[in-house]
Amino acid sequence: MPTLPPLPAPDAPLDDAARDRIAECFAAICVEAGAIVMEVYRAGGEARLKADRSPVTEADERAEALILARLAERLPGWPVLAEEAASAGQGLDACQRFILVDPLDGTREFVNRNGEFTVNIGLVADGVPVAGAVYAPVLERLWSGGAAARLRRVAPGASLAEAAEDRAIRTRPAPEAGWTALASRSHGDPETEALLARLPVAERRSAGSSMKFCVVAEGGADVYPRFGPTMEWDTAAGEAVLRAAGGTVLRPDGAPFRYGKAEAGYRNGAFVAWGDPAASGRSEG
């Protein structure tokens, strides 16, 4: 890995500069893990079912091993909760700050070979994602966010200095009419349909994985509702990017969407991601 600036200890203050440094660290690790994911993807890796009946591939397991090793090197002492380790029974005691890892979000997209899967690392502090990185290796798109959000185009395994594109991103104000809504490609439900029916949606797109948060973050869409089941590691990195770009994530009733739900096994409830936080009141019905 490239040499990066010093990173804070688990109990150090998390100012804007520290959050940006952590996001940059996560971004570099995601791109490195993306090379492993692509190696399995090109070899035609298949999925098997875990005990909870969710799919897992060799790419999930190998990428997570790499990510955990890199986090131990760069952020020693930080608590980490990773999807495959959690599935194997390695939990995490309740704590104020911890890192969430999803080595391959969108396993179904990976198996279906549509390219819409991502590598995700996010940092939660006091129930809120404050730094994160999301990498789509097939598309070579890397989103990251701490105090500010960035989009880069980086090949799997390349250094961040080799990015073909590097620009700041921001959400857009909700248009007076003609919103763009994103919905899950693999998980539809009546609650989503009911919420979207109350909004001035002119265009609707389907997409997989945590990319949906990032499309909203870069101003390509206005709202992404999700009522189906997710885990905290599915959403933390994408929400961190969206928040850094000016958006927010709320429960459907407008209440805060919180992390650190150890008592619930780190399962999420329903949420709505908004590009324009002021637009969230339009969903009340």
pLDDT in the model for residue 107? 80
CATH code that applies to domain 179-283 = 3.40.190.80
pLDDT of residue 1 exceeding 80? no
pLDDT more than 70, % of the chain: 92
Nearest to 175 by CA among 206, 219, 214, 211: 219
Q: What are the start and end residues of each CATH 3.40.190.80 domain in the chain?
A: 179-283
Per DSSP, 207 falls in state: E
Rounded to two decimals, what is the model's pTM? 0.93
| Region of poorest pLDDT, from 42-46, 75-79, 101-105, 151-155 | 42-46
Residue whose structure tokens are 């989103």: 143
Instruction: Among 3.30.540.10, 3.10.690.10, 1.10.443.10, 3.30.413.10, name the CATH number for the domain at 16-168.
Output: 3.30.540.10
pLDDT of residue 52 exceeding 70? no
| Dihedrals phi, psi of 143, to nearest 5 degrees | -110, 140
| Region of poorest pLDDT, from 32-41, 52-61, 119-128, 145-154 | 52-61
Q: What are the start and end residues of each CATH 3.30.540.10 domain in the chain?
A: 16-168
User: Long-range contacts: 280-285, Cβ < 8 Å, 24+?
Assistant: 280/248, 280/250, 280/254, 281/254, 282/174, 282/198, 282/199, 282/200, 283/195, 283/198, 283/199, 283/252, 284/198, 284/254, 285/194, 285/195, 285/198
| Dihedrals phi, psi of 9, to nearest 5 degrees | -75, 165
pLDDT in the model for residue 114? 85
